[in-house]
Amino acid sequence: MGGHRENDETAGGDAALLRAVAAGDGSALAVLYDRHAGWLHARLTRRCADPEVVREVLQDTFVTVWRSAAGHRGQEAGGWLWTIAARRLVDARRVQERAARVESLPGPGVAPSAEDRVLVGLEYGDVGTALDRISPELREVLRATVVDGLSTREAARLLGIPEGTVKSRALRARAELRSALAQLNPSPLGGPA
Protein backbone atom coordinates (compact mmCIF):
# COMPACT_ATOMS: atom_id res chain seq x y z
CA MET A 1 0.00 0.00 0.00
CA GLY A 2 1.70 3.20 -1.25
CA GLY A 3 4.77 3.54 0.96
CA HIS A 4 3.56 1.22 3.70
CA ARG A 5 5.02 -2.26 3.60
CA GLU A 6 4.34 -5.06 6.02
CA ASN A 7 6.69 -7.98 6.40
CA ASP A 8 5.20 -11.44 6.75
CA GLU A 9 5.69 -11.46 10.50
CA THR A 10 3.81 -8.16 10.97
CA ALA A 11 1.07 -9.21 8.55
CA GLY A 12 0.56 -12.47 10.46
CA GLY A 13 0.59 -10.51 13.67
CA ASP A 14 -2.03 -8.16 12.29
CA ALA A 15 -4.33 -11.06 11.43
CA ALA A 16 -3.98 -12.40 14.97
CA LEU A 17 -4.59 -8.93 16.38
CA LEU A 18 -7.74 -8.53 14.30
CA ARG A 19 -9.03 -11.88 15.54
CA ALA A 20 -8.34 -10.72 19.11
CA VAL A 21 -10.10 -7.39 18.46
CA ALA A 22 -13.08 -9.31 17.07
CA ALA A 23 -13.14 -11.22 20.38
CA GLY A 24 -13.27 -7.91 22.27
CA ASP A 25 -9.60 -7.48 23.22
CA GLY A 26 -9.01 -3.74 23.65
CA SER A 27 -5.27 -4.14 24.12
CA ALA A 28 -5.05 -5.82 20.69
CA LEU A 29 -6.76 -2.76 19.20
CA ALA A 30 -4.19 -0.53 20.94
CA VAL A 31 -1.33 -2.52 19.43
CA LEU A 32 -2.96 -2.38 15.99
CA TYR A 33 -3.39 1.38 16.42
CA ASP A 34 0.26 1.83 17.41
CA ARG A 35 1.35 -0.15 14.33
CA HIS A 36 -0.80 1.60 11.77
CA ALA A 37 -1.96 5.02 12.99
CA GLY A 38 1.23 6.79 11.91
CA TRP A 39 1.16 5.86 8.24
CA LEU A 40 -2.64 6.22 8.09
CA HIS A 41 -2.32 9.74 9.54
CA ALA A 42 0.37 10.61 6.98
CA ARG A 43 -1.73 9.37 4.03
CA LEU A 44 -4.85 11.12 5.29
CA THR A 45 -2.90 14.36 5.77
CA ARG A 46 -1.81 14.22 2.12
CA ARG A 47 -5.48 14.14 1.12
CA CYS A 48 -6.91 16.57 3.68
CA ALA A 49 -5.32 19.77 4.98
CA ASP A 50 -7.62 20.07 8.01
CA PRO A 51 -5.85 18.39 10.97
CA GLU A 52 -9.09 18.17 12.96
CA VAL A 53 -10.81 16.24 10.17
CA VAL A 54 -7.77 13.95 9.87
CA ARG A 55 -7.88 13.22 13.63
CA GLU A 56 -11.64 12.51 13.50
CA VAL A 57 -11.25 10.24 10.47
CA LEU A 58 -8.41 8.33 12.13
CA GLN A 59 -10.50 7.88 15.27
CA ASP A 60 -13.55 6.81 13.25
CA THR A 61 -11.36 4.32 11.37
CA PHE A 62 -10.33 2.52 14.54
CA VAL A 63 -13.86 2.67 15.98
CA THR A 64 -14.96 0.93 12.79
CA VAL A 65 -12.16 -1.63 13.19
CA TRP A 66 -13.38 -2.31 16.75
CA ARG A 67 -16.93 -2.83 15.52
CA SER A 68 -16.19 -4.81 12.38
CA ALA A 69 -12.97 -6.76 12.99
CA ALA A 70 -14.96 -9.98 12.76
CA GLY A 71 -15.72 -9.08 9.13
CA HIS A 72 -12.04 -8.93 8.17
CA ARG A 73 -11.63 -11.55 5.46
CA GLY A 74 -7.93 -12.20 5.90
CA GLN A 75 -6.74 -9.77 3.26
CA GLU A 76 -3.70 -7.63 4.04
CA ALA A 77 -4.58 -5.58 7.14
CA GLY A 78 -2.99 -2.36 5.89
CA GLY A 79 -5.16 -2.36 2.78
CA TRP A 80 -8.26 -3.07 4.80
CA LEU A 81 -7.45 -0.26 7.24
CA TRP A 82 -6.79 2.16 4.37
CA THR A 83 -10.12 1.24 2.73
CA ILE A 84 -11.91 2.10 5.95
CA ALA A 85 -9.95 5.35 6.43
CA ALA A 86 -10.48 6.46 2.81
CA ARG A 87 -14.22 5.88 3.12
CA ARG A 88 -14.36 7.79 6.40
CA LEU A 89 -12.51 10.68 4.74
CA VAL A 90 -14.99 10.71 1.86
CA ASP A 91 -17.85 10.69 4.38
CA ALA A 92 -16.27 13.59 6.30
CA ARG A 93 -15.90 15.58 3.08
CA ARG A 94 -19.54 14.94 2.21
CA VAL A 95 -20.59 16.29 5.59
CA GLN A 96 -18.46 19.40 5.05
CA GLU A 97 -19.84 19.91 1.53
CA ARG A 98 -23.41 19.41 2.74
CA ALA A 99 -22.87 21.97 5.51
CA ALA A 100 -21.39 24.43 3.00
CA ARG A 101 -24.37 23.92 0.67
CA VAL A 102 -26.82 24.52 3.50
CA GLU A 103 -24.99 27.71 4.47
CA SER A 104 -25.05 28.93 0.88
CA LEU A 105 -28.74 28.18 0.31
CA PRO A 106 -30.94 31.21 -0.13
CA GLY A 107 -32.92 32.38 2.86
CA PRO A 108 -36.58 31.58 3.59
CA GLY A 109 -38.95 32.30 0.75
CA VAL A 110 -36.27 31.81 -1.94
CA ALA A 111 -36.33 28.53 -3.88
CA PRO A 112 -33.14 26.41 -3.91
CA SER A 113 -31.27 26.25 -7.21
CA ALA A 114 -31.76 23.42 -9.67
CA GLU A 115 -28.25 22.16 -8.81
CA ASP A 116 -29.12 22.00 -5.09
CA ARG A 117 -32.32 20.08 -5.87
CA VAL A 118 -30.41 17.58 -8.07
CA LEU A 119 -27.70 17.03 -5.43
CA VAL A 120 -30.27 16.45 -2.70
CA GLY A 121 -32.17 14.10 -5.03
CA LEU A 122 -29.04 12.09 -5.80
CA GLU A 123 -28.08 11.80 -2.17
CA TYR A 124 -31.50 11.15 -0.65
CA GLY A 125 -33.64 10.16 -3.62
CA ASP A 126 -33.98 7.08 -5.76
CA VAL A 127 -30.26 6.79 -6.57
CA GLY A 128 -29.34 6.63 -2.88
CA THR A 129 -32.08 4.07 -2.27
CA ALA A 130 -30.99 2.03 -5.30
CA LEU A 131 -27.36 2.06 -4.14
CA ASP A 132 -28.47 0.62 -0.82
CA ARG A 133 -30.12 -2.26 -2.68
CA ILE A 134 -27.08 -3.51 -4.59
CA SER A 135 -24.62 -5.93 -3.06
CA PRO A 136 -21.88 -4.46 -0.83
CA GLU A 137 -18.95 -5.63 -2.97
CA LEU A 138 -20.48 -3.95 -6.03
CA ARG A 139 -21.36 -0.81 -4.08
CA GLU A 140 -17.77 -0.48 -2.81
CA VAL A 141 -16.44 -0.65 -6.40
CA LEU A 142 -18.87 2.11 -7.42
CA ARG A 143 -17.81 4.20 -4.44
CA ALA A 144 -14.14 3.79 -5.28
CA THR A 145 -14.44 4.42 -9.02
CA VAL A 146 -17.31 6.91 -9.23
CA VAL A 147 -17.56 8.69 -5.89
CA ASP A 148 -13.85 8.65 -5.00
CA GLY A 149 -12.83 9.06 -8.65
CA LEU A 150 -10.15 6.37 -8.50
CA SER A 151 -8.75 4.67 -11.58
CA THR A 152 -9.27 0.94 -12.01
CA ARG A 153 -5.70 0.32 -10.84
CA GLU A 154 -6.12 2.55 -7.75
CA ALA A 155 -9.47 0.95 -6.90
CA ALA A 156 -7.93 -2.50 -7.23
CA ARG A 157 -5.15 -1.59 -4.80
CA LEU A 158 -7.54 0.08 -2.37
CA LEU A 159 -10.00 -2.82 -2.36
CA GLY A 160 -7.36 -5.55 -2.51
CA ILE A 161 -8.81 -7.19 -5.63
CA PRO A 162 -7.46 -7.65 -9.19
CA GLU A 163 -8.07 -4.93 -11.80
CA GLY A 164 -10.17 -7.32 -13.89
CA THR A 165 -12.42 -7.90 -10.89
CA VAL A 166 -12.86 -4.14 -10.47
CA LYS A 167 -13.92 -3.87 -14.12
CA SER A 168 -16.35 -6.79 -14.01
CA ARG A 169 -17.86 -5.64 -10.70
CA ALA A 170 -18.25 -2.11 -12.07
CA LEU A 171 -20.21 -3.49 -15.04
CA ARG A 172 -22.38 -5.64 -12.76
CA ALA A 173 -22.85 -2.73 -10.35
CA ARG A 174 -24.14 -0.47 -13.12
CA ALA A 175 -26.54 -3.18 -14.30
CA GLU A 176 -27.83 -3.82 -10.77
CA LEU A 177 -28.16 -0.07 -10.17
CA ARG A 178 -30.21 0.32 -13.37
CA SER A 179 -32.40 -2.60 -12.30
CA ALA A 180 -32.89 -1.21 -8.79
CA LEU A 181 -33.77 2.20 -10.23
CA ALA A 182 -36.25 0.58 -12.63
CA GLN A 183 -37.95 -1.17 -9.71
CA LEU A 184 -38.18 2.12 -7.81
CA ASN A 185 -39.49 4.02 -10.81
CA PRO A 186 -41.16 1.60 -13.26
CA SER A 187 -42.04 4.29 -15.83
CA PRO A 188 -39.58 4.26 -18.75
CA LEU A 189 -37.22 7.21 -18.96
CA GLY A 190 -37.54 9.18 -22.16
CA GLY A 191 -39.61 6.48 -23.86
CA PRO A 192 -43.27 6.33 -24.82
CA ALA A 193 -45.71 5.42 -22.07
CA dihedral 179, 180, 183, 184 (to 10 degrees): -140
- The reported pLDDT for the residue numbered 110 is 58
- The reported pLDDT for the residue numbered 3 is 43
Residue 76, classified by CB atoms within 10 Å of its CB into exposed (0-12), middle (13-18) or buried (19+), is middle
- The reported pLDDT for the residue numbered 83 is 86
Task: Report the 3 state secondary structure along the chain.
Answer: CCCCCCCHHHHHHHHHHHHHHHCCCHHHHHHHHHHHHHHHHHHHHHHCCCHHHHHHHHHHHHHHHHHHHHHCCCCCHHHHHHHHHHHHHHHHHHHHHHHHHHHHCCCCCCCCCHHHHHHHHHHHCHHHHHHHHCCHHHHHHHHHHHHCCCCHHHHHHHHCCCHHHHHHHHHHHHHHHHHHHHHHCCCCCCCCC
User: Would you write out the chain's pLDDT as a tens digit for each of its 193 residues?
Assistant: 444 444 444 555 898 999 999 999 999 999 999 999 999 999 999 888 899 999 999 999 999 999 888 888 777 788 889 889 988 888 888 877 777 766 665 555 555 555 555 555 555 567 767 777 888 888 888 877 876 677 888 888 777 789 999 999 999 999 988 888 888 777 554 445 4
Closest CA to 36 of 3, 68, 67: 3
Contact 47, 12 (CB under 8 A): no
- The reported pLDDT for the residue numbered 164 is 95
Global confidence as pTM: 0.51
- The reported pLDDT for the residue numbered 8 is 40
